[in-house]
Amino acid sequence: MLILRSPAAMTAWSRSVQREGGTIGFVPTMGALHEGHRALIRRARLTCDAVVVSIFVNPAQFGPREDYARYPRPFRRDARLCREEGIDVLFAPSASAMYPAGFQTVVVVPEISKRWEGEQRPQHFSGVATVVTKLFGIVRPDQSIFGQKDYQQVCVIRRLVADLNLGTSIVVHPTVREPDGLALSSRNAYLTERQRRLAPLLYRALQTGAATVKRGVSSGALVRQGMVRVIRKEPLIAIDYLAVCDPDTLEPLHRITRNALLLGAVRIGAETPKKTERTVRTVRLIDNLLVTRRAGRSGA
């Protein structure tokens, strides 16, 4: 496994592979790799000759009060996982390599970014779109693999690739979960023992919504109300949003005719620490489920 830190060296390597007729699968990450990332790497290996994983904690997608400084960066552990999976290149550039002096270009995908995560984190998706555009230009992948957990991010990137003719196909891998349903995420490492016990409640709320749709209920408002009731049973959890959306546009669905995306973000609040304990932070979790309403079922 090569570890490359220079964008120019990364591009030169990719060009050499493609000159020889090889295909490149790309898994972009911010590190703190887990079994979900392992699944993405394995998916890339199934259809491509070479696999590149990037690790870059992108400062442009963090807001001023977010966790950029404390975001986990266990590089040695991450590199070990990549070696175990037999990847070809680990691309780990510095912030100054990605955003050199004089850098001023920002990529914005306005419509699909405006709701949900975009409303909660106003600069997030412009940071994502900008860094992903750069990474695609540097790595030149034939396929790029993303996890479904970050569904809105995937929608932004798909639109970006289509609009700018970036020449990579986007593959979406299903969300990888713990046995109790919690979606794997690098930020799960922040959870205290009590917060971890509460964390699967978001998935249970989404499951409740999915079951309601499958029973034939077509009202987006009624489906959302059922999800909200699940979360509000636990006072330590605050809802950022719970939504019933069109899977392609992410616009709210007032009436579900066929397919729907159930989308959610919550904050698990800080516990009151004892005098001898460190301060416990609020942890933010996101998740989603795709659901299909069976044809011929009638409901509210």
Determine the angle formed by the axes of helices 75-84 and 35-47, rounding to 10 degrees.
40
pLDDT of residue 277: 45
On whether 150 is known to bind a ligand per the annotation, the reply is yes
Band of residue 279 on the pLDDT scale cut at 50, 70, 90: low
Residues constituting the chain = 300
Selecting among 37, 124, 173, 254, the annotated active-site residue is 37
On whether 153 is known to bind a ligand per the annotation, the reply is yes
What are the sequence ranges of the domains in the chain?
A: 2-173, 186-292
Task: Select 2-173's CATH number: 3.30.70.20, 3.40.50.620, 3.80.10.10, 3.20.20.70.
Answer: 3.40.50.620
Report the percent of the chain where pLDDT is more than 90. 89
CA atoms of 285 and 237, how far apart (whole Å): 10
* Among the ranges given (19-23, 142-146, 246-250, 296-300), the one the predictor scored with the smallest mean pLDDT: 296-300
On whether 61 is known to bind a ligand per the annotation, the reply is yes
Q: Which CATH architecture has domain 186-292?
A: 2-Layer Sandwich (3.30)
pLDDT of residue 57: 97
* Known active-site residue 37: yes
On whether 32 is known to bind a ligand per the annotation, the reply is yes
On whether 30 is known to bind a ligand per the annotation, the reply is yes
Q: How far apart are the first and last CA of the chain?
A: 56
